[in-house]
Structure 1
Amino acid sequence: MVHRLSRLNTPLLLSSVAFVAGAQEARLVILPDGGNLIRPVGANIVLTCKGEVPDPELISNLRWLGPDGRDLPNGDSGEADNSRISSEELVSDVGRILFIKGLQEADSGKYTCSAVYTSSQRLEAHVNLTTIVGITWEDAPTEQSAIFGQPYKVRCVVRANPPATIDWQKNGVGFTTNNHYVIENDGVLIREVSLEDDTYFTCRARVQTTGQLEDRRIRVEVFIPPEFIREPVNTSIVEGEGGFMECQASGKPDPVYTWLDRNNQNLNLNRERFIVDEQTGRLTIIDAKRTDEGEIKCLVENRAGKIEKTAFLKVIMKPVVVEYLNASGIMGREVSLTCKASGDPLPEVTFLKEGTLIPYTIGVQNSDDRIIVDTSREGEYAQARLVIRDLMRSDDGLYACIAKNNGGNYTKNGHITVEFPPSFALTPMREAWSWDNHLVNLTCRAESIPNATISWFLNGRNLENDYNILTNAFNGESTITVTPIDLSYYGTYRCLAMNIHGKDEHAIELREARAPGPLLQTKFETITATTITFNFIGPMDNGGLPIEAFAVQYKLAGQVWEEKPLQRVWPVDIPYILENLEPQTIYSFRFAAKNQVGYGEWSREETHTMPKRAAPEEPYIIAKTENKVVSTPYPDRYELLWSAPPNNGEPIDYFEVAYYPVRNTSAGLIEAGQLVRTQVPYPANVRFEMKNLKADTIYRIELRAHNVIGFSAPAEILLRTAKDAAAVELGTTTTALPRETASPSQPQSKTIPYVIIGVIVAILVFIALIIDVSCYFVNKKGLIYIICNRSGRNKGSGRKGSNKNSALMDKDEHKALRFAGGKLHKNPVTARWPTNNPHNTGLLATDDRSIGRGPTSREPHQPLNRRFEPLHSDI
């Protein structure tokens, strides 16, 4: 036993052990070791009692006893289901476990483990449990606030057992009681709070006997009572308009503003017309009313205090029209409007007719002596009266009553209604059409005040009780729906309008419509292997209704029309193109016009044989040209768009795009760069983006469609790229059409002397020419005189000389025409190209079709004639 105790190096919990002769080695052991245990309140603890005996089978009545000597609840039997303290038997050894949950101060004391060995030997072990109360912050909020200039206690109440010692720090520096702070049991009293107290205080608690140490960091925020920066002042606002009142104060925390009206009602709650800016305290008043006038109080408060200030709100009364009634009068008689208005000061009142700019003046109007305005005062109101004599229909309308004073203007509209007898002047309907019992609406609109009663008649018969006619009338307009079941319902319908001032009538002719007559002419305009484009001249007789469509029926030659031929219908004024025909096939066609009644008579049959399969038609380039040139806003790219043409019986497999730069010369356009040729698959695309173009350059573009038979005629355009933005910004420009290009190795300044010399030479030549002409006319001498004299001698020299001069004249004329800017060409200039040039196809033609369209026919793969015309000087 001594050996075991020395090995464990801890005292065994053996408080009292009873020995029986012959059994001294039997004992009880409590774990954890130690006779005294100290635990904080609220903790959980477990104590294990084990028997160390020679024969564990002989131990009985093993139990735990509390400080009061009573048995503790046995968890094995269910006695301790709801108890904090219970015991359970060890499963793997001889012993018993004691559980104590949520230690309380009352749980302190001596706990005993007791057992009986060999039925006669009593074994016991004891442990002393001491509970302590840890440092607890009972009243020590981490956020506290104090009011500037007033005393305040920073609260810190601590509970601990054993008691704790408290000391204080401010911003990490300890302090004791002084003139500013008084340390008390429940906190630190600040005699008079200053802004320096707006900081962190630390309340530190320590227990020497247990070694506990805790601190609480308390943020003290110093609040400052509000103080006015801007007090509210008396304010005037025009009635119906908006304004504001100022009220601003300082304080900490930021103060809250409340505005109270003369009845002490909180204006902050009325968000409809009053708005308070929570940051500045400004009160915004929207649509001020007379009842808003009175004292307005600004109340400013925060957690440190509150202040208030009163100002007076004056609402200026704008003029108001209090009475203005509409008036009615009969055409040719007199009518008057009376307008009454209030305001302070009393307003001036006048009238303005809608659609005019100048109000009426007091008295008789200079522009119309039928109109008179007079004014008067009726108590607290200003009154004006507008009188119009000899009423006309043009006098009907709105008249504004305008009241003005210093507060502003007020306008109210009144209406003069001019009563007059009915009139059908605005009824455009003169005739209508129907057929095969189709319903038709006939409408009469009678202008009248008051509204007129409208009756309908047919051949003198009142239609009110006719079951085949429905009548609908609304607001002076009457519509009858006629079902012409027989010819008696066609004829002249008369609508009669009547009111208290007179009557009027209007006639509408109902005619029977029919299908249109035969077409006057059908033209086969454009024919390809699979399409035909038609043009029609409509029939002489449209049946009374507009032609709305043209139709074609077509069949194979040899078929009969009764076997449901194919048919195509086109609305009027669209391209009349018949597609999907078979090449080298004979078709028969007949045509008809259509209106709402139906199709007219079919024309005489026409037979036509479709052309054989061929290369596609020329594609159409989609581009906007100006002076035969398309401009792109980009200096280096252009997207070419086109529409696919008819394929002439074989599908188009691709389009070929070819383009190259050109330069303008007096002889025309000449190629100025490498030709680029590419294929665009179809039907995948009908567009192609040209990249890496040169800035400020003209390109010639050709587009051809291809099928198994060959290429179409090319569609062609000229493209001008934009100038390089970088070059323009540097003050330089590039051009794709230079007449002469200076060598980069020669500075531009070296060419200036040559230009000056050229100008001088030109001036000298011009002076010599003037002198020579003068010599010719005055002295009959000079170079011109010699040339003219020789020319006169050669006139009679015979036929051979005449032919020679004629040939010279032809040559000069030819040269002049060649360099005439492209306007006339007897012998157009043809550019010569190397025979080994792989790009010797797809070049430009000289006729006008070169812009957007190519020649009408050309064999596939045939090289294009590279013949150019000079372009206008503005390119």
Structure 2
Amino acid sequence: MSPLYDSGLKKYRAHHTSPASSVTIQVRLSDINGEKLDFSDILQKACQELLMEPDVDKLVKKIDEGIKLTCSVDGLAADESANLQWFDASGTQVTAKTGPIKVSGYGNKLSLMIPKLRNGDEGSYSCKATINGNPVEKSLAIELYKGITIIDSPKKQRPNINTDAFIECNVDATSASVDWLYGDERPIDSTNGRFIQKKDGLVIKNITEEDNGKYFCSVNVPSMGDFLQYDITIEVTIPPKSSRPATFSPAVVGKKFTMSCFATGDPQPIFSFYKDDQYLEGSRYIIYDVNGRLEIEKIEATDSGEYKCVASNIKDGVRGSKTGGKIEEIVTVEVLIPPRITSITDISKVEREPGELTCVGEGNPAPDLTWKKFGSDVAFSSDQSGTLQGATLEQKKDQLPDGSWKSELKLIFAALKSSDTNTYTCTATNSAGSASENGSVTVQFKPNFDDTPYTQTYGWANHRSEVRCIANAEPEAFIKWSRHGENIADNTTFQIVSKPGQGTMTSDLMIAVLLDNEDWIYGDYVCSAENAHGTTTQTITFTKAKPPSTVQVKSDNPTPTSVELIISPPADNGGQPVLDYKIEYNLQGSADVKTTRASKPPSSSGEQRTVARIVGLEADKTYKVAVSARNNVGYGSSQSLNVETPKVRPPNPVSFTSTPSGPNADFYIISWAKPLTGGSPITGYMISYNKVEVKGDSESSWAVTKVLDKPIKQEAKGDITSYRLERLEPNTFYQAEVKAINALGESDARQLIFQTSKGGKTQIESAAPPPTPKPNTNPGIYIDQVCTVGFHSYIK
């Protein structure tokens, strides 16, 4: 202790153990005159003081922060207590068991702890103590600062396009200022009227996709130095819009059904489907909500109705609002039921009685019914006028309780005929498909011979001939044969073979004609057919066949080595078809007669005449030719004529067989049919070609308009029929000329215009080798059957 000043008072400063703390003690001298002063006691009592940490009058703390206040008394003896106590802002003492606010301590130190400050914890907190019997109190005021909080403001906000969009940034802070920045931290200009900054958000008028991007809501509390930059991404929502009308597949019972809807939007719309306003869900329905497709694997008749597809991209917006939108489209689906034949009523009646062949079909829409007789390509329905071979048609349609339809078609016969017996096909057709079933008409009638092929037939000696009758009947007929009123039984001369068919009985009477029975075997034979409805007979005349009569023949187109014969069939074929023609010829004055045959042209051609060419003749000679016709009996009388061959001459012109449009770009194979030689063997061909310009749109109309270069000439040796022209240019027209050569000279020239291809892959071709000649067993004159073209028989 040290004296400070003397003016009636003696002042002393006592220092605590901590050099930062000291207390000043004032002692009046009058108080201690004549007395002994105990400074240790004075100092002990003077240093007993209530302390609080932190030693401030006020603390500002953020909500949710923790706080700890400590008060203590220094200078108390070990056996002294200051009875420290803490009181909250309401004046309530805080104890260790009070709740969230607690105290803890030991000795003359007591701490107040609030782990997490909350609203309501603000106010004045007091620490009270008793020192030297005197109450002492210290207080500290706590003020709460709640900081910066953004309330219910999504980081991504999707306002609808072309609206006055409100971008929410709801700031909860004391004395805060809010500014809006673009994503690159440029300030938003609020002076143009499009952007309006409000306390709780930003309004963007008539927002578009160009406004998409990141924005900053910048919050500042200057008094606290607190700052928050809250980023918000704006993506404009485009409500759904139909891109094209909904489509759906045909709805046919049992088949897969698909419905598709088409809409655009941002975000991508989600599709849902309804039938008659009922939401479709469950295992029967496969819904692709992103692609807008509904599938029903097997649609049923009860699935008909109104189908609605809804495209929606509605989302929750700010402050309970909704963004996006939805559109819907409705289509009416009628489930089609493929037709089926439910019943057919057959007919089995006697000839000339009436009858009805009835067909019933069901489906949706109402099926159209037709009848078609087996073997006929014409189907008849009630929509057609007229009758089906004497029958009338009658149809009606009725709707069933389930909405489907029943159709009925009757084929009505006023008087049944035997020819009505057949299988009839009923076909039911609607837009979902078709179905067919067969019905039958069976007309019972006595036998007839409408299908018997003839009333006269032929036979000849040493031949087993057939006499046939065909009896149509229902029920099946029994057939017997007779001659001169006597029934014929099987023996060495006659044999009866019968074969049943559908509504027919075919009976063949086989007759063995011999030389010793020809005088009586020919004549009339009677076929009798019998069933329950009667007996019918048919007379067939069995006539003796003979060889054909004389043919008509003339020569044409002679060459030095060949002649053409035109043969007309005989006026009388003798009861049997002409099989072929025998041709005999010899050089005039020679006994060496050659024989060959010429075939008839096929019956399908309709050509009656036979054209034959004799080749291998000698030039400038006269030949005697005789032609006779042959049938199953034998050859008839011959028709003779003389033919003359001309002198040897140059060959005939060639006839081209190659296609004018060539398959290759740099070469072309020209080919021709072998021409007539002119009586002297062909030794080769003179071939020339050059580039040309042509007019005409097709191969048949091509015509040369300009020759572009000099011809390239080449001679090909040998009796060939094709030649390869090399080193050609792609996609170019050429004109080729070919002449045949023999010992007497050249044939007339023939020209061919051809075109090479544009290029690309080359087609592998090769010129055909010359034909290998057949061995000639008759030098000088020979005949050979080569081919039949246009009913010309070329013989050799």
Q: Same-fold call, TM > 0.5?
A: no
TM-score range, shorter chain: 0.3 to 0.5
Return the TM-score normalized by structure 2.
0.41
Return the TM-score normalized by structure 1.
0.37
More strand by share: 2
Q: Which of 1 and 2 has greater Rg?
A: 2
